[in-house]
Chain A
Amino acid sequence: MSQAQTLAVEVIAIEQVTPLIKHFTLSAVDGAELPAFSGGSHIIVVLRGATRIYRNPYSLLSSPHSLGSYEIGVRRMEESRGGSHFLHDQVTVGSRLEIAHPVNLFPLAKTARKQVLIAGGIGITPFLAQLEDLHDGTAPYELHYSVRSPEHAAFLPRLREREGDRVRLYFDSESQAIDFDGLLANQPLGTHVYVCGPAGLINRVMTTAQRLGWPDSHLHSEQFTAPPTGDAFEVVLARAKLTVQVAPDRSLLESIEAAGVEVPYLCRGGVCGFCQTRVLEVDGELLHNDHFLSDAEKTKGKSIMPCVSRARCKNLVLDL
Chain B
Amino acid sequence: MNAAVRPLAFKPNETFRDDFIFHNSPEAIRRFPMPFPNDEYMYSVNIEPHVAGAAGSVLEHAFDVDEHYIAECRERAIVLAAEPLRFQALPHMQSAQWDCLELLMDSLARDYPEHFSLTKRGNHWHWINRPLGIDQQFVFGDLASLPHQPLDYITRQTQGDFVVMDQRDGDLWIQAGMVTTPADWSLDFDMGMTFKEWHGPVPLAHEMNVFDRALKYLLNLRLGQPVRRLNWTLTIHPRLDTSPEAFPLWGPTRTTVTPQNAGDLVHLRVELQGLWRLPRSNAVVFSIRTYFISMRELVTIPKWARRVHRVVKNLHPVLVDYKGLTRYRDALVEWLAPFDDGTPTTPGTAPE
Contact = CB atoms under 8 A, between A and B. Distances in A.
A183 B261 CA distance: 72
Interface in A47-85: 64
Interface string B218-246: 00101111000000000000000000000
A38 B168 contact: no
A277 to B, nearest CB: 15
B168 A266 contact: no
Contacts of A116: none
A110 B102 CA distance: 20
Interface stretch (A13-21, A96-104, A168-176, A205-213): A96-104
B169 A217 contact: yes
Contact of B223 (A2, A40, A103, A111): A103
Interface stretch (B24-32, B207-215, B276-284, B316-324): B276-284
A251 B99 CA distance: 37
Nearest to B99: A36
B327 interface: no
B167 interface: yes
Interface residues of A, number: 23
A110 B225 CA distance: 23
B235 to A, nearest CB: 34
A64 B278 CA distance: 13
A138 interface: yes
A41 B224 CA distance: 14
A2 B224 CA distance: 11
A60 to B, nearest CB: 12
A70 to B, nearest CB: 13
Contact of A38 (B93, B222, B225, B279): B279
Contacts of B220: 1, 266, 272, 274
A266 B222 contact: yes
12 contacts: A2-B225, A36-B280, A38-B279, A40-B282, A64-B280, A101-B224, A102-B279, A110-B95, A110-B281, A111-B168, A138-B92, A266-B220
Contacts of B95: 38, 110
Nearest to B217: A1
B223 A1 contact: no
Given A36-B279, A101-B224, 5 more contacts: A35-B223, A35-B279, A40-B282, A110-B95, A111-B92
A37 interface: yes
A290 to B, nearest CB: 15
B166 interface: yes
A37 B280 contact: yes
Interface in B258-272: none
Interface string A1-35: 11001000000000000000000000000000001
Contact of B166 (A5, A103, A110, A266): A110
A272 B167 CA distance: 14
Interface in A304-319: none
A209 to B, nearest CB: 16
Contacts of B223: 35, 37, 101-103
A38 B282 contact: yes
A274 B217 CA distance: 9
A2 B95 CA distance: 28
Contacts of A41: 282
A1 B227 CA distance: 11
Contact of A1 (B102, B222, B280): B222
A5 B224 CA distance: 9
A1 B279 contact: no
A5 B225 contact: yes
Contacts of B222: 1, 101, 103, 266
B267 to A, nearest CB: 35
Contacts of B49: 2
Interface of B: 49, 92-93, 95, 99, 102, 166-169, 220, 222-225, 279-282
A40 B166 CA distance: 15
A103 B167 CA distance: 13
A107 interface: yes
A107 B92 CA distance: 14
Given A38-B282, A104-B282, A1 B225 contact: yes
Interface string A266-277: 100000101000
B92 A110 contact: yes
A37 B92 contact: no
Contact of A107 (B93, B99, B167, B225): B167
A65 B104 CA distance: 20
A109 interface: yes
A272 B280 CA distance: 20
A40 B282 CA distance: 10
Contacts of B282: 38, 40-41, 104, 107
A213 to B, nearest CB: 17
A101 B277 CA distance: 11
Contacts of B93: 110
Contacts of B281: 38, 110
Interface in A262-308: 266, 272, 274
A101 B222 CA distance: 8
A190 B93 CA distance: 18
A103 B222 CA distance: 7
A38 B92 CA distance: 14
Contacts of A37: 223, 279-280
A264 B19 CA distance: 52
Nearest to A40: B282
Nearest to A38: B282
A102 B166 CA distance: 18
Contacts of A36: 99, 102, 279-280
B280 A109 contact: no
Nearest to A64: B280
A5 B279 CA distance: 16
Contacts of B102: 36
Given A107-B167, A109-B168, A110-B166, A38 B280 contact: yes
A138 B281 CA distance: 14
A35 B167 CA distance: 20
A292 B281 CA distance: 24
